[in-house]
A and B are shown apart, each in its own frame.
Chain A
Amino acid sequence: MRIEAIDATVRLGDTNALDRVDCAVRPGEMVGLIGPNGAGKTTLMRVLAGLQPLQSGEARYDGRRARDFPRRELARRIAFLAQEGEAAWPLRVDRLVALGRLPHRDAFFGESAADAAAVEAALAAADVAHLRARTLRALSGGERARALLARALAVQAETLLADEPVAALDPLHQLQAMALLRAVARNGAGVVAALHDLTLAARFCDRLIVLAGGRVLADGPPGVLTDAVLAAAYGVEAVRGEHGGEPFIVPWRASAPSPGAGETGA
């Protein structure tokens, strides 16, 4: 499913969280959404997921509006992984993951074999199968993040919108989760992940959308992360290099005060 935000503007309080943003996600594409805190990443995620009312502009799904679809159909086709991962009740991990099957199930029938298989696959993919009988509260932050990622994977949607899926993970699980998200994309799904780690973003994503101050600063292959873009978006200078043909970008120090000044005016 092709999801577009067209001229999307969102006001939260008296600031523009998003200011006339255009962007698109296509099937089979792994998109990294990056930008400093408060740049509008979460808001854009919510716009793409159809959760965020817009001041102007719109979100389109294969060219149609969200309300042109039955809710459940959209819920089957778009999985959304929220950033704040709190469960109100101490459910078992596998029961939480099974919530991802709700759009596929008729209200009062139990899980089908396909549901059970999807839950198992998601538990294994996110490396939480061994934690299945624990409750979310008994897990570490990273384990919790993986369990919630498994919940989103269990939807088996054709688009996966993940808001900071790797922020809490240790290095190994960060690499595994990024590889997993890319594999999901390679299987034909469109994947959008909000990220803070520039190296992971540059290595694993097909395309990066850089947000700053509610606007799209850059949109393109990982090469768009130029020194000028990093300075304008984050106000940092980075050390760059290459290993085995793949780039790495390490933020090193605050950049000289010149380019960042224009951004706050936006």
Chain B
Amino acid sequence: MSAALIRAERAYGPLVVALGGLTLAATFASLAIGYVHLDVFAALNDVAHGRASLPALVLVELRLPRAALGCAVGFSLGLTGAAMQGLLRNPLADPGVVGVSGGAALGAVVVFYSGLAGAFSLALPLGGVAGAVVAALALYALVGRGAGTMTLILAGVTINSFAGALTALALNLSPNPYAAFEIMFWLMGSLVDRSLPQLWLALPLMLAGWALLLSSAPALDALTLGEDTATSLGFDLKRLRLTLVAGSALAVGGAVAVTGAIGFVGLVVPHLLRPFVGHRPGRLLLVSGFGGAIVLLGADIAVRLLPIHPELRLGVVTALIGAPFLLSLIDRMRREA
């Protein structure tokens, strides 16, 4: 194990470059692979010269939002998962643990339920963002008054299950079964039929969230040795918690608002990559972001290649692959311990 650890130590730079390169490659593959054949280079050429050809339209209107959102949402989920695991010092934390994803899903469902979804195209993501903001504010009100990490976990779990209950209530009371179907489908998470305006809505939120989360790397390292030691090393834990809650609210709230809930990416990816960065929580952040992007893009390419119709929902696929994978991981950890 120690030889592997030493290699991991030295390989951080190359690892970041490799994962960054893979992320770019996966994004490009996501542009190139689809239900109709598309010559990406010819299409790009058309776009560059302002020709509104069919390939150019397919690229800009269909493939580009899907690929870019897959990349950004995957990055958000992986990064937030790593940050939450670092903050809570618990490998089972995931982006949902602070309750923001549940809030975002509920916000979107409310929009569905109220019929606003048909009113204008950004109603759904805006509802999701609003839900995420409300959940984050509820959490903020608590954490801002100096609540500890345990309170944060409990509050997050409570907010998540309350949002889940309200979502179920909306389904329960849904006047027409089609609306209920639509809500359930949306909740399963997907990148299909997303548009550039949705990307422009979510991307700034996610970028701001990434900046907050990535800036916490040294504090998360210090937290390895516990809260007292981290404080004695000059880190303000109250500020750290606020930064991370705000960062995950922005990153995950923005992501869920556009794509629906996509599970397991934020839980599994940091697990998978942790040994490669010598288990250092600070270094895990960036690589988990790239890892999340690669996994999500890969899953999204897979649902397009699979001969199953209607197309499988992304959240379903990530959970189907993620859960058994996590079990095998836990089993391996148990045997190593």
Contacts and interface: CB of A to CB of B under 8 A. Distances in A.
Contacts of B235: 71, 102
A53 to B, nearest CB: 10
Given A79-B232, A134-B2, A105 B225 contact: no
Interface string B152-185: 0000000000000000000000000000000000
A89 interface: yes
A105 B219 CA distance: 12
Given A87-B224, A103-B233, A92 B218 contact: no
Contacts of A148: 225
B221 A99 contact: yes
Contacts of A71: 234-236
B221 to A, nearest CB: 6
A99 B233 contact: yes
B232 A99 contact: no
Contacts of A114: none
A118 B1 CA distance: 26
Interface in A79-114: 79-80, 82, 84-92, 95-96, 99-100, 102-103, 105, 107-108
Contacts of A211: none
A46 B228 contact: yes
A89 B215 contact: no
Closest 10 CB pairs of A and B: A75-B234, A80-B232, A88-B89, A89-B279, A72-B234, A133-B2, A103-B234, A71-B234, A82-B228, A102-B233
A255 interface: no
Given A82-B226, A99-B222, A92 B5 contact: yes
A86 B224 CA distance: 8
A105 B215 CA distance: 14
A83 B274 CA distance: 27
Interface of A: 46, 49-51, 71-72, 74-76, 78-80, 82, 84-92, 95-96, 99-100, 102-103, 105, 107-108, 133-135, 148, 151, 155
Contact of B278 (A49, A95, A107): A95
Contacts of A87: 224-225
Interface string B102-133: 00000000000000000000000000000000
A105 B222 CA distance: 12
B7 to A, nearest CB: 11
Contacts of A155: 233
Contacts of B218: 102, 105, 107
Contacts of A74: 234
B321 interface: no
A198 B171 CA distance: 69
Interface in B235-294: 235-236, 274, 278-281
6 contacts: A50-B232, A72-B234, A82-B228, A88-B89, A95-B280, A151-B225
A79 B234 CA distance: 10
A164 B89 CA distance: 24
Given A46-B228, A79-B232, A151-B225, A92 B9 contact: yes
Contacts of A51: 228, 231-232
A80 B223 CA distance: 14
B279 A90 contact: yes
B305 interface: no
B45 interface: no
Contacts of B53: none
Contacts of A72: 234
Contact of B228 (A75, A80, A103, A107): A80
Given A92-B9, A134-B2, A76 B228 contact: no
Interface in B170-227: 215, 217-218, 221-226
Contacts of B217: 107-108
B278 A99 contact: no
B14 to A, nearest CB: 15
Contacts of A90: 279
Contacts of B9: 92, 95
Contact of A102 (B6, B221, B226): B221
- Most chain B beta-carbon contacts within 10 A, residue among A46, A82, A88, A95: A88
Nearest to B2: A133
A194 B224 CA distance: 23
Interface centre among B5, B6, B228, B231 (most CB of A within 10 A): B228
Contacts of A82: 225-226, 228-229, 232
B168 to A, nearest CB: 35
Contacts of B222: 99, 102
B40 to A, nearest CB: 35
Contacts of A103: 233-234
A84 B232 contact: no
A249 to B, nearest CB: 31
B2 to A, nearest CB: 4
Contact of A80 (B89, B90, B229): B229
A86 B229 CA distance: 11
Contact of A75 (B1, B90, B232): B232
Contacts of A107: 215, 217-218
Contacts of B5: 92, 133, 135
A72 B274 CA distance: 28
Contacts of A96: 224-225
